[in-house]
Amino acid sequence: MREFYVAKGWEDKNINLPYRTTTKSAGYDFEAAEKVIIPGLLGRFNNLLDGLLNLNLETSFLKPTLIPTGIKVRMQDDEVLHLYNRSGNPLKRLLLLATGVGVIDSDYFENIDNDGHIYFLFWNLGIADVVIEKGERIGQGIFNKFLLTRETNDKRTKTREGGFGHSGK
Query: Is 49 inside any structural domain?
Result: no
**pLDDT score, position 47:** 67
- Residue 96 structural domain: 3-37+65-145
Query: Is 32 inside any structural domain?
Result: yes
The total number of structural domains in the chain stands at 1
- pTM for this entry: 0.84
Output the CA angle 21-95-65, nearest 5 degrees.
Answer: 100
Encode the chain in three state secondary structure.
CCEEEECCCCCCCCCCCCECCCCCCCCEEEECCCCEEECCHHHHHHHHHHHHHCCCCCCCCCCCEEEECCEEEECCCCEEEEEEECCHHHHHHCEEECCCCEEEEHHHCCCCCCCCCCEEEEEECCCCCEEECCCCEEEEEEEEECCCCCCCCCCCCCCCCCCCCCCCC
- Encode the chain (169 residues) as per-residue pLDDT tens digits: 899 999 999 999 999 999 999 999 999 999 999 999 999 888 777 666 666 666 655 555 678 999 999 999 999 999 999 999 999 999 999 999 999 999 999 999 989 889 999 999 999 999 999 999 999 999 999 999 999 887 766 666 555 565 656 555 5
Query: Is 135 inside any structural domain?
Result: yes
